[in-house]
Amino acid sequence: MLARVLFVEDVETDAELAVRRLRTEGVPCEYKRVETEQQYLDALHSGGYDIILSDFSLPQFDGMSALALAKRELPDVPFIFLSGTIGEERAIEALRCGAVDYVLKSNLKRLAPAVTRALREAEQQRERTAQQARIARLTRILEMLSGINTAVVRIRDRLELLHEACRIAVTTGHYVTALVSFIEPGTRTARPHTWAGEADEQMESRVFVIAASAEEDSSVTGRVLRTGEVFLCNDIARADRIVSRFPSLRDAQFQAIVALPLTVDGTIVGTLTLTAQDRDSITDEELNLLREVAANLSFALQYFEKESAVQFLSYFDSLTGLAKRVLFCERLASRLTARKAEEPQPAVAIIDIEHLSIINDSYGRHAGDHLLRLIADRLRSRLNTESLAYLGAGCFGMLLENADGQDDALRELQQHIVAMFDKPFRIEAHDVPVTVKSGLACRGPGGQDAEALVQNAEAGLRQAKLAGEQYHHHRLDLSSKLAARLALEHRLRGALENDRYLLYYQPKIDIASGELDGVEALLRWDDPERGIVSPGEFLPILESTGMIVSVGEWALHHAAAQCQRWKAAGLRPIHVAVNCSPLQLRRPGFAELVRDIVQGWSGDGWGLDLEITESLLIDPESDEVRKLRALRGAGVRVAIDDFGTGYSSLSRLSDLPVDTLKIDRCFINGLPGDRASSRLVPTVISLARAFDMTTVAEGVETRAQLNFLQQAGCIQSQGFLHAQPMPAAALEALLAPKH
């Protein structure tokens, strides 16, 4: 490669000797010589030089001034002193000020090695700088994608969502302009809908014509709407003949432009257009991420058109921005249907984050949530968002579309896991290493449907956990906490034998009358060392170890016995709600157990309610649902706890054995000021009323929340505004009959 050398030298023959020496020793070069400050400045401004060789002393100029000017004008170009007069002290000072080397004219044999090394290091530095810039840009785009995904999940207003997406593209993605345009109904034109960044004054009045052919195109937006294809021009100065004549590009303040179609039900309805300051800045990796942005915005547009806020929320996990199980299965089913016979059979992988509860206990629940978001971002950096899901409880789903057979799928899964979890995650100034277990299911020649494929992958995960097949990294920083967890498990096992569990009761108030209208039994642990412990600290351990089955059965027996004591004492009739774990409901004989517990005392206002999670009702024909139907026939009422945070299919609610919807406290907390909550909660209440169900608002803490719920038609209220959970003895005063 030809090196372009700028000599700062007053003697032409010295420059010629240096050039001859370089060429002789295999450094091809061309050069320009300057000797005055003005000549030097002109050369620096013109650029195009790979290295500067400067004498230290010149009649009209000096080398240290030349070095200072070079560092200011061309800081990336290496500077070497080539002098016969420089001393050791001055040479050291020159190196301190930015020179990369010095060579004496009397020892030119050092010149070629010094120049070669300087050119090589400069090239390496340029490559490092370019790589860092690419990484920084892709990181920004990933953050932009994550921000827009969060907006898609949380924002319920169409214009507000699109404006926020444009704003994030400019502020986080560092695009010059972000513009969303939509087709005018019944016309072959489109208009800007919302935008952010540097936009011209005529943007609001612009009209983009959708031409009939490529030769008639007059705008990037019109071309994308006509073809339905992504448009990318990384340098508008090199645009093709038709594009270069578009009016909006003639005096553009940007160098690159990309436009992507937005669709609803497969029909193109608009475009997302982004402009960038630097030419050749939009790489293939960035374009793939932008395709995901457009796909997610299109999905949001589709659900703005078709679904209510509750339905939309049920498809996405608000924490990670990824699809929930139902949407993941729908997408998988669509891929299976569209797959051609010669294409590889897809595989599904489920990965489970190990010791997530320990991380929550060690650093706080917020840290665990942050970790899940970081993991979701790493997943998105390797796979298309539409191939990912968050299934809850630290489990992620992955669709591997191109794996050819089980061995290939396993190899691809291992590559993903190594790449994503080899490095620790940075959380609150701590490097937190993460290990996972995984289950893999490949679709066989006979084929399985989407739900069966996911269930098979989950079965594989359970087998991996039971067999301990996944390698575990030993982490000293968490070993003491793991030991503490094991000790806690041991104490919890002894708590049932030693009668250390308690039931507290929290009233549920009839909003219309203000009267007590039921209670919820809440589990507490009377720890000899710590006193009364709230369930948030020990329920996850009971669930993960399976102890919840025996403790849950104790709670059912204890609540029923307490009701019988109240009944015998002549207190007012009451229904007591008890939380039921999925593990309990799935055990054989559960329905018979509950029927035996309520037999002989329920009825005439007395009874037992079971509170279950939404996930148990995903299949109306499951064994769990059949058990609940049988229990309802025995007078046991069923409530969905924390409604709105799971993945119930709202269209099936009327077919399910459910009496009550309990609205999760995360939606009540935002009332009445939060826009999304104030829309969502009345929607749930109306939905419940349509299915003849009772609604209970959880976590009511203010009078303003209660007033809002009353106006919305909510039936019952539960929370600290009315009463905190209390022992049975304290509740008896509220159950005393009125005279």
Show the tokens assigned to 717.
């209220």
Show the tokens assigned to 588.
């054989």
Most confident segment among 51-65, 557-571, 679-693: 557-571
DSSP code at position 737: P
Q: What number is the average pLDDT over the span 574-598? A: 91
pLDDT the model gives residue 479: 36
pLDDT the model gives residue 648: 47
Q: Tell whether 37 is covered by a domain.
A: yes
pLDDT the model gives residue 556: 95
Q: Tell whether 133 is covered by a domain.
A: no
277 and 341 belong to one structural domain: no
Single out the residue of 681, 679, 727 nearest to residue 700, CA to CA: 681
- Report d(CA 320, CA 373) in Å as an integer: 5
CA 36, 40, 46, 52 dihedral sign is positive
In this predicted structure, the answer to whether residue 531 has a pLDDT above a threshold of 60 is yes
Show the tokens assigned to 454.
């996911």
Q: What number is the average pLDDT over the span 518-531? A: 91
190 neighbors 221 (Cβ within 8 angstroms): yes
Q: Tell whether 323 is covered by a domain.
A: yes
CB-neighbour burial class of residue 489 (10 A; exposed 0-12, middle 13-18, buried 19+): middle
297 and 183 belong to one structural domain: yes
What does the H/E/C string look like for 372-438? HHHHHHHHHHHCCHHHEEEEECCEEEEEECCCCCHHHHHHHHHHHHHHHHCCCEEECCEEECCCEEE
283 neighbors 277 (Cβ within 8 angstroms): no
C-alpha torsion angle, residues 230, 232, 236, 239 (rounded to 10): -70
Show the tokens assigned to 512.
């219309």
The rounded percent of the chain whose pLDDT value lies above 70 is 92
- Report d(CA 338, CA 583) in Å as an integer: 37
Q: What number is the average pLDDT over the span 569-590? A: 91
Strand residue runs (E) in 637-682:
637-643, 660-663
pLDDT the model gives residue 485: 61
In this predicted structure, the answer to whether residue 307 has a pLDDT above a threshold of 80 is no
Mean of all residue pLDDT scores within the chain: 85
Q: What number is the average pLDDT over the span 125-140? A: 81
Pick the last residue of a domain from 306, 321, 347. Answer: 306
In this predicted structure, the answer to whether residue 642 has a pLDDT above a threshold of 80 is no
Q: Among 1-10, 31-40, 151-160, which stretch is predicted with the lowest mean pLDDT? A: 151-160
Pick the last residue of a domain from 284, 306, 328. Answer: 306
Q: Tell whether 647 is covered by a domain.
A: yes
91 and 7 belong to one structural domain: yes
The band of 482, judged by pLDDT with boundaries at 50, 70 and 90, is: very low
pLDDT the model gives residue 487: 63
332 and 409 belong to one structural domain: yes
**CATH number of 94's domain:** 3.40.50.2300
CB-neighbour burial class of residue 422 (10 A; exposed 0-12, middle 13-18, buried 19+): exposed
The rounded percent of the chain whose pLDDT value lies above 90 is 38
In this predicted structure, the answer to whether residue 481 has a pLDDT above a threshold of 70 is no
The band of 386, judged by pLDDT with boundaries at 50, 70 and 90, is: confident
109 neighbors 27 (Cβ within 8 angstroms): no
708 and 626 belong to one structural domain: yes
What does the H/E/C string look like for 241-256? HHHHCCHHHHCCCCCE
85 and 8 belong to one structural domain: yes
**CATH number of 434's domain:** 3.30.70.270
Q: Tell whether 139 is covered by a domain.
A: no
433 neighbors 354 (Cβ within 8 angstroms): no
87 neighbors 99 (Cβ within 8 angstroms): no
32 and 167 belong to one structural domain: no
**CATH number of 239's domain:** 3.30.450.40
In this predicted structure, the answer to whether residue 63 has a pLDDT above a threshold of 70 is yes
pLDDT the model gives residue 447: 61
Single out the residue of 381, 152, 375, 195 nearest to residue 288, CA to CA: 381
Task: Give 192's strand partners.
Answer: 181
699 and 651 belong to one structural domain: yes
Q: What number is the average pLDDT over the span 635-657? A: 71
495 and 515 belong to one structural domain: yes
Distances (CA, A) of 705 to 452, 673, 689, 701: 43, 9, 20, 7
Show the tokens assigned to 739.
């005279």
Show the tokens assigned to 556.
């059912």
In this predicted structure, the answer to whether residue 455 has a pLDDT above a threshold of 90 is no
Q: Tell whether 140 is covered by a domain.
A: no
335 and 429 belong to one structural domain: yes
- Report d(CA 492, CA 136) in Å as an integer: 48
Give the containing element (helix H, strand E) for 7.
Answer: strand 3-8
In this predicted structure, the answer to whether residue 475 has a pLDDT above a threshold of 50 is no
Q: Tell whether 145 is covered by a domain.
A: no
Pick the last residue of a domain from 252, 282, 306. Answer: 306
- Report d(CA 563, CA 602) in Å as an integer: 9
356 and 273 belong to one structural domain: no
Show the tokens assigned to 428.
């609150």
Q: What number is the average pLDDT over the span 457-483? A: 56
Q: Who wins on pLDDT, 481 or 100?
A: 100
Classify 257 as helix, strand or coil. Answer: strand
pLDDT the model gives residue 333: 87
- Report d(CA 669, CA 702) in Å as an integer: 9
Q: Tell whether 580 is covered by a domain.
A: yes
365 and 411 belong to one structural domain: yes
Only one residue has tokens 């050119």, namely 119
CA 137, 140, 146, 150 dihedral sign is negative
Only one residue has tokens 């919840």, namely 548
Contacting residues for 312 by C-beta, under 8 A, at least 6 apart: 156, 300, 303, 304
Preceding peptide of 573 cis, ω within 30°: no
Distances (CA, A) of 566 to 42, 222, 562, 591, 598: 98, 74, 6, 24, 14
Single out the residue of 382, 398, 494 nearest to residue 440, CA to CA: 398
Q: What number is the average pLDDT over the span 561-578? A: 94
Q: Which domain holds residue 713?
A: 481-735
In this predicted structure, the answer to whether residue 463 has a pLDDT above a threshold of 90 is no
Alpha helices (runs of H) in 425-547, residue ranges in sequence order: 450-467, 476-497, 535-545
Single out the residue of 378, 372, 387, 354 nearest to residue 317, CA to CA: 372
Q: How many domains does the chain have?
A: 4
Q: What number is the average pLDDT over the span 638-644? A: 82
Q: Among 157-161, 300-304, 604-608, which stretch is predicted with the lowest mean pLDDT? A: 300-304
**CATH number of 617's domain:** 3.20.20.450
In this predicted structure, the answer to whether residue 204 has a pLDDT above a threshold of 60 is yes
pLDDT the model gives residue 384: 86
In this predicted structure, the answer to whether residue 347 has a pLDDT above a threshold of 80 is yes
